[in-house]
Structure 1
Amino acid sequence: MKGLKKQRRIQILVLAAVAMAASFAAFYYAAPDALQYFRSPSEVAEKAPAPNETFRIGGLVEEGSLVRGQGAAITFNVTDGGAVIPVRYEGVLPDLFGEGEGVVATGKLVDGTFEATEILAKHDETYMPKEVIDALKDQGMYVEPDAEPATN
């Protein structure tokens, strides 16, 4: 009797492990773009990602680098103070997008230029994604926003 109970427990554990592995594999193959990694410009410059890897890059839009091309084409540079990565985007930019502002872009690195498919800008004057703040702090470029607005 004891041997039968032990065998049944082992079967249940093996079945649970197989079910967990199958569910993870199904998630991974069904949504490969859901697992996107964030990189700072310094990390991209140090070690370029794989050619077909979709990832997010974040930092500040470099002053004087924003160029509007034909139609909806836009180019600009993203920097964290340690490195500068050129970005190309075709589409409508968020309202709060601008030079010197924080930005997170999703896309792929193609021949040294980040080809963005999505641009995210901060949604108010004080918000910046945690990953961007951490990358800017690592480079000594982050300035803490004032706790209270200045009065005239």
Structure 2
Amino acid sequence: MTRSDSPLQALEEASRALRGLLGVVIQVERRFGREQSPLALLRQITEDPEWAWLRPLYQLIADVDHAVHDGDLPVTEVAAIGSHATALLSGVGAPIEQAFLERYRDLLQTAPEVAMAHSTALQAIRKLPPESDNEAERLHARHQWAMRCKHRREGQQR
């Protein structure tokens, strides 16, 4: 398997598509807001309770980007990431992020650019390896991915 068709490469492409989706969502959400510096916008998105609904998406992107940077990610975890991302964007599967889905679905229905970025992200996610048909293997991979994210976040807080 070459680098261009590796699961890690597919994960990098999915991450780029998710970042593109996040950028479009932020752009649409800011249409009626006041102009501000990139730093002020970042602070608003990460600290303002009105933007908390977006946290699951940017947290997923940060987790994926760290995993890609670290490399050496088992294919089973790459598949678990794909499942998690699909569940987040569609509301099917893993635990549902209700606040995210409510606002996100509104944007999907009212902003064509969000719908297009959503489609691009799902296409990239579908290129990730599928999860195992074996439930125990699937659950183990999801647990491993969740623990990887948890340990990374705990390390950042110290």
Q: Which has the higher helix share?
A: 2
Measured against the shorter chain, the TM-score band is under 0.3
Larger RCO, structure (CA 8 Å, separation 6 or more): 2
* TM-score w.r.t. length of structure 1: 0.26
Structure number with larger C-alpha Rg: 1
**Structure with the bigger percentage of strand:** 1
